[in-house]
Each structure stands twice: as C-alpha cells, then as structure tokens.
Structure 1
C-alpha cells in the first residue's frame, strides 16, 4: 500500500480534481458508452464551476459530505472521492477515481474508508454506488471491497450496495 494522506479537498484543488475525474471517466467509459455519452458525462460531472462550488459549500448541503483527496508524500493528487447521505441510513458514493499509475496500491480503499467514516457519522448503515454499465472497469474493485449488485434502476446502470 502506498503511503497517502486522505483529507477534505481545498478550493485550490478544484482544477486538479476536475482533470483527474474527467481523465478517469474518459478512460473508463469511452469504449463502453461511446464518445458522445462519455463527453456528456464529463461535461456534467467534471465541470470546474460545479466542483469548485461543491468544495466551497460551507458545512455541506443536505446529504452532501464533500470531496476527499488522496495525496502522496510530494502532495501530488493521487485520487479523489465524493459522497453523501441523501436518504437517511443510505450513504452514496458519487465519485471515486484514482490516477492510473496509483491504481492497485490501496488508494481507492483508503478513500472509500474515509468516505465511509463520514457517512457513518451522518447515520449511514449501508452504502450504494451507481455504475454506468455492468462492464464498468470499477466493478471488480467494488466487489472486492464488499459491494453486491442491486436490481438495476435503469437499463444502462448497475447499482451496488454494502453494509458499512
């Protein structure tokens, strides 16, 4: 496991978060969803004004617990996560991305552990994540950390849950 610091994101990191998330989405979904749907996803999820606003929400909005970042010893951004508790008792992982060079080193698990702790502090007893496809390359990671499939809510998504 690589030595990392997981902490709440700072406003000055919004650009790095946006880029890392956009690169991760493009790398994961272009072949699965196609170029245009992937561009739409990046446009919606990785908008710099959106991420900046989400970082700067004082105290968080109802259900929103914020962005987390994982940095290495040289303060390099290695991964990001975002989540919340939109429904009482149910945590939701909204985003989890790790740089390609840092995958498989425990950074994703460190981010998920920190996000889970935040969710538990707000009353979550289980966690969910929605993936864009049953071919999502993150599916093995989520299965490894204990998520199990739920019935799909739409034809192109796969939902997973676990008790935290």
Structure 2
C-alpha cells in the first residue's frame, strides 16, 4: 500500500479517529488487560466529544499539538496519532493507532515521524510514550525506533 497523506485531522475525522482508537485498543488489549480495563481505556481515550474538542481547539492549547491522520490512496483514514509538548523540551505521544488491515505498511512509522517533527518544531529534544501494560504489543514498534524504558510502561528517546 502506498501511503497517500499524513495531515492534520479535521472535524469530519473525529468519528473515524474514535472508532479507529477503540478498535485498536480492543484488538491489542482484550487478552492482556481484561474486559473492565479495556472498557475504561475506550471510554476515556475514545470518547467522541473529547476527540471533537481536541480537534477543534482553536490555535491549540498549551502543550497540545493536535491530531494527525494518515490516509491511504483513496483518502480513507487508516491511522491516527496525537501528541504535544506539555513540558518544555519533552514531547509526549498520547495516541498512535493504525487500522488492523493496514498495519506493517509504514503508516505507524509515518505518523510517528510527522508527530516527532511537530514536537521538534516546538522545542522537544526528547519524546516519551506511556503504555497501558508491560506486555504491550506495541513495545517492539517503539523499541525498534529508539525508545528505551524509563519504567516498565514508560519509554523515551532523544529526537
């Protein structure tokens, strides 16, 4: 698959982002975290009003750099990422999800690169990500991109 675009999310992308995140959480953590923690993650991280508000923050909020989406060649959103620089010099990746049928095609890497570029533009020299569990299935993705453990569920890398 040829990645067509990584762009800033628009208001019309909110529902797709919400579903994409919920599907990614279910697919990644159902057998690891259990039903109640998975439902809690989905209710807090994927709430449509929250995602709409985050997309529509005029001019952004302090430390918030917004949502990015990746689309395939026909314009379908196949991935999303969100990040910010909440502490001077420290970028924080809040979310990164790729549709199951589109994984291992460079979309997650493209979203991470675009998010990293945004963070660097706002002075980040380090990037961090928190994972819900020590056995997180995305751990190898981050490790191959230079992230190292700060704690069992918190990773960082220089950017």
TM-score > 0.5 by shorter chain: yes
Per-residue deviation, 1:30: 1.4
TM-score (norm 1): 0.95
Per-residue deviation, 1:134: 1.2
Indicate conservation of the 8 Å contact 2:30/2:38, yes or no.
Answer: yes
1:160 has 2:155 as partner:
yes
Deviations 1:57-115 (A, max 9, x none): 01110110000000011111110000000111000000000011111110000000000
Partner of 2:113: 113
Deviations 1:19-72 (A, max 9, x none): 000000111111111001110110000000000000000111011000000001
Partner of 1:155: none
Partner of 2:44: 44
Unaligned segments of structure 1, at least 5 residues: 153-157
**What is the aligned residue count?**
159
Question: Structure 1 runs of 4+ off > 4 angstroms?
Answer: none
* Equivalent-residue separation in structure 1 for 2:45 and 2:14 (angstroms): 12
TM-score (norm 2): 0.98
Within a 5 Å distance, the mapping from 1:10-159 to structure 2 comes to 10-152=10-152, 158-159=153-154
* Equivalent-residue separation in structure 2 for 1:104 and 1:2 (angstroms): 12
- C-alpha RMSD over aligned residues: 0.9
Per-residue deviation, 1:151: 2.4
